[in-house]
Structure 1
Amino acid sequence: MKEQVIPILRVADAAASVRWYARLGFVQEWEHRFEPDLPAFVDVARGDVHLFLSEHAGDATWDTLVYLRVADVDAVAREFGLPVEEAPWAREVHVTDPDGNRVRVGTPREE
């Protein structure tokens, strides 16, 4: 088994969040509900990078910040119509999901 850390983000509408995270290249892998009308818990993945999106009140807090390192930050910037910011460590864009969770997306600078 490959060990990994998977951030859990609090969301109000998992289906809407899955569509939003698709703009960052994530695809839904699975969804769990204890009963059909209970809150959803969803896994989205971009390659080996996973995020859990949870409608459950106790799983996470709003306004979380996640850093996503990608090979091509320019593609993300185009998708969201944002300028790329130049930082000493990476080229970055900052986006906010529909629930206020922040995602900083960066391509590291070559050394």
Structure 2
Amino acid sequence: MITPIFRIFDIKKAHAFYLDYLGFQLDWQHQFAENMPMYFQISLDGTDLHLSEHHGDASPGSAIRIKMDDLKSYHTKLSEKSYRFANPGLEKTQWDTLELKVIDPFSNRIIFYENC
């Protein structure tokens, strides 16, 4: 199993985007001491993702693709939330996928996709 790591800079913004908006669940979090960077794992439908405030763990502006079943229903759920910083649409690609692209508050890009 591969677990991508995204660099983040603000826990509240990360939680608002990943947990509240995208619907990931918080699996665990770790912090060596109160004034140290946070590191945590989130998951959605069998996909794990690590988010890290640690310098050097990852570069902002990374991108991943997550295969998902019933992407149209997921898109509907996101649309109903009226998240003020994103309103992604669905795109049918030339390579026969349906895709939904989002960019997190730290310039990381997630492409949820489903084969047509």
TM-score under structure 2 normalisation? 0.83
Aligned pairs (5 A) from 1:71-82: 71-78=69-76, 79-80=78-79, 81-82=87-88
> In the aligned structure 1, how far is the partner of 2:91 from the partner of 2:104?
19
| 1:47-93 CA distance string (max 9 Å, x none) | 32100000001100010001011112223433153321001331001
Aligned residue pairs, count:
106
Higher mean C-alpha deviation, range 19-28 or range 74-83: 74-83
Alignment correspondent of 2:25:
27
Letter in 1 for 2:53: E
Q: Which 4+ runs in 1 deviate beyond 3 A?
A: none
The Cα RMSD (Å) is 1.5
> In the aligned structure 1, how far is the partner of 2:3 from the partner of 2:12?
19
Aligned pairs (5 A) from 1:1-12: 4-12=1-9
8 Å Cα contact 1:14-1:42 kept in structure 2: no
TM-score under structure 1 normalisation? 0.86
* Unmatched runs of 5 consecutive residues or more in structure 1: none
